[in-house]
Structure 1
């Protein structure tokens, strides 16, 4: 029996303050950002902290044959657990789930659990991590002898055959289809499912496997899919060659921080799928199981990544300090948890690990790959190798070095200064200065030594920013399966041409699909008026609210999902100087509605799979240009009306056209809730989208409004904010200013039914009300 254990915890902070919270809960998002904390731009200037989560609960009718487990899906920070004052467990890695057995320490009646989360040893991450119990918790009561280790594997698809195993040899199996019909049953072992629906990104069909004994039964969702990889065909799913239109994502969920609500994870995957992606990389850590459930249901392939680093530090307090003691346990936890998820098609054991340039690192890579294969031989293993970073590390550059013997103690705070970069951050800093020139180093002899040394350690050679080496690898090593594990979106035209023309280059994962908190400013173009604190990376093709920009429009055209796209750089910023960043090739957005900026310079970008593009404004031709790398650029004066882009082939035949229009009238604040009602389960989220529109209903990105939000009824504001990359605002502050005309409010239900009313008031006198029922 599994029970919701997320309700009514007491959170106590170091300053003596306390409050009641429901889980999941991210303590970091509630902290005051500051230039003086040691996390710096890594977390968007959010500090760490130490927190105690306390829960009182009652256990009745316990039997001597019963085992009582508390399952944590994820706690960020060094974690110690006390039950009735007795230490019942510890956990170090913030991204792996873990169980705590409280059978012997618990008592009949009232019990007190304390979860002590220490995230004061910072910096320990290169991006926003969150703090505390940010994933869900479950109380499990079961027999000491119980069904466990359930594995469901596709044996073949002709005929469709699965193999079901678990620790209970006398268990029975029933397979149920999506309509609730029994399609197979029998003992453990092989089962044939006649006329089975196969799982893939295009057809994500899920079955339910019921495994039962005389005393219990468990259910597992699964998909029937055949996964193969070879140098002849590359990657195939159910016998069909699959090319991965991939995007890297971090684990935060925008304005609600690190909290891994099922609704938030599902919404994220849905948005990514609608944006054209068929694969995501869980950069650079195990994702939540809720995210994998969403990927299974919606049809999103997953590159399942274990670690950002190994034993060489990337910053002072990171995972490297405990790597040798913990990595096997954490790696096996990830693989064993994720085995039955059909969406998981590749494992990654690391990201930009400079160790692979050493004999010790190569040996470790091979050992880790073999370790994963013994746990699961049905999926290939890769690692995101940054060739340039590894070459530099071999020469002593970009390596983090302790100034004194490492001590696991908090560092003193200091006014923010640009710290000496190491590891991946060193690469980021150089990329900003050198741009695309850096990638040419992947073609040197030293780079070849690195690649040849490590390639044999993996089933798939993953390359971060290694596109300049693709042609060499394809020519000289046709036996190697390649994957662009991390790339610039601006390089997609070249990268995708190589993917589509080669069997062994199986896909491309851009940095990043969705924007994220932390690594603040690596992609966000900085205008001279941007004086606020860096908050977001600003590199996503989709912003933290879920809105796609021109980078995603470019991707869709290159991938062949759309024929033509218009993007316009913010006309209201065209007179300002701008500092462009390496991880964003454009800041254009799909809007031609800039009232008050008539006559200002407008930079228009048109992406097309044609040979020529003509741009018209109100029927007047502004120019016709040859398409290069799917892209044409125009500069004109902004004027209201209709902007039309038309693409042509070499013979002048029209292929496609698209338009952007300006509107008219006074702007209004549109308020739309994604759900009509909510469930009274303490976990349901409702996203409320605020957007400035004019009388024609057209988005007004230059119209920014100061607003305040309040709520009444059995729900709370889980987060509120915008996609502004440089901002001093807090996601917990009910007073906000829209950015590019937009703001997002995330409402969380409580456990009681009733009517919820949200009031939105703007400084210019608008008053909006949203009502919904919590049921």
Structure 2
């Protein structure tokens, strides 16, 4: 088999390696190239422009910026108090952006079907091929695709142009990002092919002995002749062994399609679970005569889901309490750019923090995010929309809701229904139509459509109250349309709800961080309460100022009042935007008994010897440190969280006190300690014996920098990332949280600096600023690989500190 040189000019080296593997697999299967899925992320031309006309599609782009997808132009720009996105959008500039990409369509594509697929563009994407407008896609979070075939110049250059209009502001209550922030693909198939959007692999029943799968597929015939073909379906186990198969004979009329349903039984299946997320694959092949003309593999998991008021949430027949986090789609310093590694890292951090579930507030996530949840074992409540027709912002999704919700909901369900991690669909969040007839009609229409596309998962929504004048029971008709009543900040009503509606299944779809114990207690005591999703798992960009703590002489303002500039993000997360877990994250882990038993933190002293004034969603500014210069002899508050019944606190080996930390004490104790330098130690005690210790030692003067990469080797594909923690330390290697040093980073070799960030959400420094200040002694440097193998060298330096170096490597292995 030969690949024309003309085709080789189209892709990056990394894409060519993937294409070669695809071709080899097809060759071994006894056919020419049956299906190509080519990444189209490299070397786009980009410019910001306010021009509303179409001149950009054919204009000279030689002087435009060259960018690599995923790309978010807003995160590259400085925040501005006058930005139209306002505090909800983090004060980041938006605007209109143009993208251009040229490629060669080889002659052997002439008889194929060629399409372009966008995983996500924010927002209002107009797409052209060779100056022909293909269509407009308003919603920024759902995938969409177009057929390029009729408009291609085969054997010649073709130009793909995309206009992204994020200028109509405000249109979001959080940071959306701007641009082609997810992957783009160029797909090539035979005219007779499998419709990958209409594949469904559903577990009808499963046990340790046997599972029954219901498989649905659709074959398209884009020719003018009737086609008789064979569809071969094979199920591969986690070790890539074929464990079940079927061959179906199909006749497809010209320019038509044929849908089929096939049941397959699997003996002794590996059930997908939180602790053992085993994945199978379904391989579909179309055979015509002695030719294989299409092939496609879909990963999936075998598992069952049940919910009931009497038994709660059951995964494979076993009860699971959902310890969940609400997580927005941004990747902190990277903005909205959905790098696969960044998405995977988010899931890794959530799992390490003890979360077993996530709600994708308030939009469909990226494919890479769900794939990571599948691989690592994290349950997902997949949410379609924030609001419905009634707008929360002047230019939000409500402007197109009635015209687009059915298409966008279908796109989400069809894309995500084969992910075993997805255990619930959510149709909305705090919608303004709740309690109104039009809201009930919308909810019924949405649930009906979802059940037609996927009947295997429960449906929920995040619903809050009707205000001071509204009776909570007026929401009963809306809750009755849902399988799970998701309540936002209203879990305290669960007992009265249960008395009124005994069969109702309830979960806390959103809760305040400080209510971790109360929500766990409700779920632990009541089978009909299946879990809690805290607002929020991570700090995030936008919704500026939520979770702020105010000094005693400041006016406490909710984040929706006034301007909180220079704050550009939300401080309500239990994990900051660099991935560092705050003390409250450890407390939640202890409350939910997810692994940790003992943790300690010290509340930062408030100015003027007064108490802090926390706003809603706020956590007191506590950090795990006993380094508080300037506070000698002053009283500090030490919090100790423990699953042991008793804790003791020592300062320089002197016992400060002993307190209970049992269930009645909500697993926490508080001590007042006069600060002096030295060692602070918390001890967990059970049955009179010391079971565990945690200690802090006062750090000395900052003298150096330490670099801690999350991985030493990354892929040389132009997409992989390495997250390097930069810490200011003393001579003994202790973190110096008092440091706000300005650190400069130099990179050499086969990598580039993708972003630099810290947990400070009120800084005016951009995420591309270099040098950049550390916050609480820490920063995060994100390195992006190139498409060349070899070493990557990172050096960090700051006046008065010993510099640090680290060597990484990019590889194709």
Q: Does residue 332 of structure 2 align to residue 254 of structure 1? A: yes
For 1:690 and 1:13, the matched residues in 2 are separated by 33
Paired residue secondary structure (1:270): helix
Q: Does residue 427 of structure 2 align to residue 349 of structure 1? A: yes
Could you list the per-position Cα deviations for residues 188-209 of structure 1 after superposition, in whole angstroms to 9, with x for gaps in the alignment?
6222222211001121111122
- State how 1:292-331 maps to structure 2 within 5 Å: 292-331=370-409
For 2:375 and 2:763, the matched residues in 1 are separated by 36
Q: Does residue 173 of structure 2 align to residue 122 of structure 1? A: no
Paired residue secondary structure (1:699): coil
- The Cα shift of 1:665 comes to 6.2
Which residue does 1:31 correspond to in 2? 77
Which residue does 1:566 correspond to in 2? 600
Paired residue secondary structure (1:356): coil
For 1:474 and 1:495, the matched residues in 2 are separated by 16
Which residue does 1:728 correspond to in 2? 764
For 2:281 and 2:608, the matched residues in 1 are separated by 55
- State how 1:155-554 maps to structure 2 within 5 Å: 155-158=204-207, 159-168=210-219, 170-187=230-247, 189-214=262-287, 215-387=293-465, 390-391=466-467, 446-526=470-550, 533-554=566-587
For 2:548 and 2:284, the matched residues in 1 are separated by 50
Which residue does 2:47 correspond to in 1? 12
Check the 8 A contact 2:572/2:619 in 1, yes or no: no
Change (3 A) 1:653 1:768: closer
Could you list the per-position Cα deviations for residues 431-459 of structure 1 after superposition, in whole angstroms to 9, with x for gaps in the alignment?
xxxxxxxxxxxxxxx43332323221111
Could you list the per-position Cα deviations for residues 575-611 of structure 1 after superposition, in whole angstroms to 9, with x for gaps in the alignment?
5774422112332122223456433432211122355
Between 253-262 and 700-709, the greater mean CA deviation after superposition: 700-709
- The Cα shift of 1:679 comes to 2.1
Counterpart selection for 2:200 from 151, 168, 172:
151
- The Cα shift of 1:373 comes to 1.0
Which residue does 1:740 correspond to in 2? 776
- The Cα shift of 1:655 comes to 6.2
For 1:698 and 1:475, the matched residues in 2 are separated by 55
Q: Does residue 180 of structure 2 align to residue 133 of structure 1? A: yes
Change (3 A) 1:29 1:378: same
For 2:542 and 2:105, the matched residues in 1 are separated by 41
Which residue does 1:415 correspond to in 2? none
Counterpart selection for 2:673 from 617, 631, 636:
636
Which residue does 1:436 correspond to in 2? none
Paired residue secondary structure (2:174): coil
Paired residue secondary structure (1:264): helix
For 2:703 and 2:631, the matched residues in 1 are separated by 15
For 1:690 and 1:493, the matched residues in 2 are separated by 33
Q: Give 5+ residue unaligned stretches, structure 2.
A: 1-35, 52-62, 220-228, 249-261, 288-292, 555-563
- The Cα shift of 1:221 comes to 0.7
Check the 8 A contact 1:574/1:601 in 2, yes or no: no
- The Cα shift of 1:521 comes to 1.3
For 2:204 and 2:508, the matched residues in 1 are separated by 29
Check the 8 A contact 1:550/1:586 in 2, yes or no: no
Could you list the per-position Cα deviations for residues 134-167 of structure 1 after superposition, in whole angstroms to 9, with x for gaps in the alignment?
0011110111221122211112113222222211
Check the 8 A contact 1:574/1:602 in 2, yes or no: no
For 1:70 and 1:693, the matched residues in 2 are separated by 49
- The Cα shift of 1:617 comes to 1.1
For 2:245 and 2:737, the matched residues in 1 are separated by 57
Between 111-120 and 450-459, the greater mean CA deviation after superposition: 450-459
For 2:67 and 2:313, the matched residues in 1 are separated by 45
- The Cα shift of 1:717 comes to 1.2
Check the 8 A contact 2:232/2:246 in 1, yes or no: yes
Counterpart selection for 2:789 from 725, 735, 753:
753
Check the 8 A contact 1:73/1:288 in 2, yes or no: yes
Paired residue secondary structure (1:271): helix
For 1:292 and 1:142, the matched residues in 2 are separated by 25
Between 728-737 and 707-716, the greater mean CA deviation after superposition: 707-716
For 2:179 and 2:276, the matched residues in 1 are separated by 37
For 1:766 and 1:163, the matched residues in 2 are separated by 62
Q: Does residue 109 of structure 2 align to residue 70 of structure 1? A: no
Counterpart selection for 2:141 from 95, 106, 116:
95
Between 571-580 and 173-182, the greater mean CA deviation after superposition: 571-580
Check the 8 A contact 1:463/1:486 in 2, yes or no: yes
For 2:101 and 2:273, the matched residues in 1 are separated by 42
For 2:475 and 2:691, the matched residues in 1 are separated by 43
Q: Does residue 37 of structure 2 align to residue 2 of structure 1? A: yes
Change (3 A) 1:673 1:609: closer
- The Cα shift of 1:616 comes to 1.6
- The Cα shift of 1:529 comes to 11
Paired residue secondary structure (1:743): strand
TM-score using structure 2 length: 0.85
For 2:144 and 2:608, the matched residues in 1 are separated by 51
- The Cα shift of 1:664 comes to 4.7
Change (3 A) 1:63 1:727: closer
For 1:754 and 1:658, the matched residues in 2 are separated by 41
Between 562-571 and 323-332, the greater mean CA deviation after superposition: 562-571
For 1:357 and 1:655, the matched residues in 2 are separated by 52
Change (3 A) 1:668 1:574: farther
- The Cα shift of 1:475 comes to 3.0
Q: Give 5+ residue unaligned stretches, structure 1.
A: 396-445
For 1:193 and 1:573, the matched residues in 2 are separated by 65
